[in-house]
Amino acid sequence: MKKLSSNTLNHLRDRIHIIIEGTDTPLGKLFDIVLLIAIAASVAVVMLDSVLYLRLQFGTVFFYAEWFFTILFTIEYLLRLFSAPNRVRYVFSFFGVVDLLSVLPSYLSLIFGGVQYLIVVRILRILRVFRVLKLKSYMQQAGFLAAALRTSQQKITVFFLSLVLLVMIFGSVIYVVEGPENGFTSIPVSIYWATVTLTTVGYGDMSPKTPLGQFIATMVMMTGYSIIAVPTGIFTSELAKSMRPQLHPVTCPNCGKFGHAAGAQFCDRCGHDLHI
C-alpha cells in the first residue's frame, strides 16, 4: 500500500516537473506564459508603487497585488522544490536563490516594516524571465556570446585595471589643477568626474573652468573616445574566432594532407578514404 502511494507521489512529481520545466506539452507552454505575465505584472506593481501620486491613489490595490503575487510565487517555489530531482542542488542553484529572493522580501517586510532595501531585492524577480526563455536557439546564441566573453576575460581584466588606474590618475591631476573653488572638492569626486568624462557620459554637473583644466579634459575625452576600441576589438576578435569553422585535425593516409573540413569522408586532394 505504501509503495503504491510512493509511486503515485513519484508520478505526480514527474508530471509537475514536466509542466514546470518542460516546454513541449500544452500545459507546460501555458505554465510558461502565465509565469511570464505574473513576473511582468509583479515587477510593474513594484515600479508603479514607487511613484508617489500612484501610490496615494492605488496604494491598497498595489498592496493586495503584491501579496497575491507573493503567494503565487511561494506556491510555485514549493512546487519546484517538491518536483526537483535534487532538492539541495536546486535551493543553492542560481535560479533557486532568485526564486527564493523573489518571495522573501514580502515576508520580511511583515517583521521589519517597509524597509526600502527590500525593493531592490523584489525587482530581482525580473531575472526569472530568463527561466522562461528556454528556447534552444536563443540559448545557443547566448552560449556563443558567453564563450567569447569567457575567452577574452583575461584581456578584459587587463583593460579594466588600466581603465581604473587611468581614471585615478586623471582625477588626481584635475583635482590639483582645478581645485575645490571650481567644484572639484576632493580626489574621489574628481575621479567620479574623470569616469564621467572618459566613458563619454558627460553629465555636466562638474566641468573644468580654467584653460589648463579644459585642456586636460580634452585629453581625457580623446583618450576615452579612442580606447573604447580596445574592449570592442577584443570581443569582436574572440567572437569572430568562435564563429569560424575549424578544420578537423585529420591526416590523409595516402597523400598526407593535414586538416579537413568537418564531416569530410574522403581527402579532397587525392580522393583517398580518410577512415574516420
**Taking CB under 8 A as the rule, does residue 8 contact its own copies?**
no
Site mask, its own copies, residues 170-189, x = CB under 8 A? --xx-xx--xx----xxxxx
Number of residues in contact with its own copies under rule CB under 8 A: 108
Letter for the amino acid at 265? Q
- List Cα–Cα distances, 253 to 25, 62, 145, 258, in angstroms: 50, 74, 38, 10
Give, as one character, the DSSP assignment of residue 23.
S
Of these, 52, 88, 110, 111, which contacts its own copies (CB under 8 A)? 52
For residues 20 and 148, which CB has a smaller minimum distance to its own copies in the complex? 148
Which residues, numbered 234-273, are part of the site for its own copies (CB under 8 A)?
234-241, 243, 247, 255-273
Letter for the amino acid at 10? N
d(C-alpha 173, C-alpha 234), whole Å: 29
Of these, 138, 150, 212, 253, which contacts its own copies (CB under 8 A)? 138
184 closest CA partner among 156, 167, 164, 205 = 205
Give, as one character, the DSSP assignment of residue 273.
B
For residues 37 and 255, which CB has a smaller minimum distance to its own copies in the complex? 255
Residue 16 burial (10 A CB sphere; 0-12, 13-18, 19+): middle
**Taking CB under 8 A as the rule, does residue 131 contact its own copies?**
no
**Taking CB under 8 A as the rule, does residue 40 contact its own copies?**
no
The least CB distance from residue 117 to its own copies, in Å, is 6
For residues 16 and 38, which CB has a smaller minimum distance to its own copies in the complex? 38
**Taking CB under 8 A as the rule, does residue 89 contact its own copies?**
no
For residues 109 and 237, which CB has a smaller minimum distance to its own copies in the complex? 237
Select from 8-16, 72-80, 93-101, 222-230 the region that touches its own copies (CB under 8 A). 222-230
Letter for the amino acid at 188? P
**Taking CB under 8 A as the rule, does residue 123 contact its own copies?**
yes
Select from 23-31, 87-95, 102-110, 204-212 the region that touches its own copies (CB under 8 A). 204-212
Of these, 9, 40, 71, 276, which contacts its own copies (CB under 8 A)? 276
With beta carbons less than 8 A apart as the criterion, state whether 245 and 222 touch.
no
Cell output for 243: 564563429
For residues 10 and 251, which CB has a smaller minimum distance to its own copies in the complex? 251
Residue 167 burial (10 A CB sphere; 0-12, 13-18, 19+): buried
**Taking CB under 8 A as the rule, does residue 232 contact its own copies?**
yes
87 CB contacts (<8 Å, ≥6 apart)? 81
CA-CA-CA-CA dihedral for 133, 139, 145, 151, to nearest 10: 130
**Taking CB under 8 A as the rule, does residue 192 contact its own copies?**
yes
For residues 19 and 191, which CB has a smaller minimum distance to its own copies in the complex? 191
